[in-house]
Amino acid sequence: MTETQRTVADITVIETAPEGPRAKWQFIYAPGAGSNVNDPFGTYACQALAAKGVPAARFQFPYQEAGSRRPDRPAVLQGTWRAVLDAVRLPDTNVVIGGRSMGGRVATLVVAGGLDEIRANVAGLVAFAYPLHQPGHPEKARVAHLADIHVPTLFCSGTRDAFGTPEEMANAAAQVEGAKLHLMDGADHGFAVLKRSGRTKEEVYDEAIAELLTFVQERGIA
């Protein structure tokens, strides 16, 4: 598998070339707040999709590039997403953007931002482990912008996610017109499962990727 690293807007982007015939869509991924461009799920997802012919790219935000643990201001996070989208978007290709936790949440904010150019260039949106609220604070749900999303959207979360219960996630997803919610049994916010479940984290990863592939087929993106 061929991966190419380059710099866009002073941050690292890793592009994974597709194997075999190229699909008509591509995937761009951002990591959660505590991870970086080598986020285990993002790396696994991009490589798995590339093996199926889907061009994929993943990146990290400026604070992650600098080795800091403190996330950048919202304007910087969203600006980074837009810069990467502009830089790696392929012509005549449907683009699906998203990420895990914060990376996916910022992608939802970018799409909801009302910029016609962004909406025109994004065919689909996926939020893996959407951080609906901080654990223990359901009253601070991050939902104000969701009704402004007008592209096909997939939420994919675990049933043990402390950042949003299945019921809370169902209510949040319902605020995005036509959104799909997929719940992965026993997975937590990091997509880990208890040993007694009989499943591995990689199997959860595969379930999430399979759901994304199903979603893009159902919505006519692939």
Residues 178-211: tens digit of each pLDDT: 999 999 999 999 999 999 999 999 999 999 999 9
What are the phi and psi torsion angles at 50 (to 5°)? -60, -35
Tens of pLDDT, residue by residue over 32-52, are 999 999 999 999 999 999 999
Does this model's pTM top 0.95? yes
5, pLDDT greater than 90: yes
Following DSSP, what letter does each residue of 139-166 receive, concatenated? GG---TTGGG--S-EEEEEETT-TT--H
Q: Does position 119 have pLDDT exceeding 80, yes or no?
A: no
Asked if 119 and 89 count as a contact pair (C-beta separation under 8 A), the reply is no
Sheet arrangement for strand 25-30: 3-8, 11-16, 56-59, 25-30, 94-100, 124-128, 153-158, 180-184
Question: What is the model's pLDDT at position 120?
Answer: 73
pLDDT grade for 116, boundaries at 50, 70 and 90:
low
50/27 Cα distance (integer angstroms):
9
Name, in order, each residue with C-beta under 8 angstroms of 203's C-beta and a sequence gap of 6 or more: none
Q: What is the pLDDT of residues 128-164, one digit of tens each?
A: 999 999 999 999 999 999 999 999 999 999 999 999 9
Determine the Cα angle at 146 with ends 156 and 26, to 5°.
Answer: 50
Map out the domains of the chain with their CATH numbers.
3-218 (3.40.50.1820)
Spatial contact of 71 and 102, defined as CB atoms under 8 Å apart: yes
pLDDT beyond 70 at 4: yes
Predicted local distance difference test score (pLDDT) of residue 1: 83
Instruction: Report whether pLDDT(98) > 70.
Output: yes
Tens of pLDDT, residue by residue over 61-94, are: 999 999 999 999 999 999 999 999 999 999 999 9
Closest CA to 156 of 120, 131, 139: 131
User: Per residue in 25-36, pLDDT tens?
Assistant: 999 999 999 999
- Degrees, nearest 5: CA angle 45-55-177: 70
Complete DSSP assignment for the chain? --EEEEEETTEEEEEEPPPSSPPSEEEEEE--TT--TT-HHHHHHHHHHHHTT--EEEE--HHHHTT-SSPPPHHHHHHHHHHHHHHHPPTT-EEEEEEETHHHHHHHHHHHT--HHHHHH-SEEEEET---S-TT-GGG---TTGGG--S-EEEEEETT-TT--HHHHHHHHTTSTT-EEEEETT--TTS---GGG---HHHHHHHHHHHHHHHHHHTT--
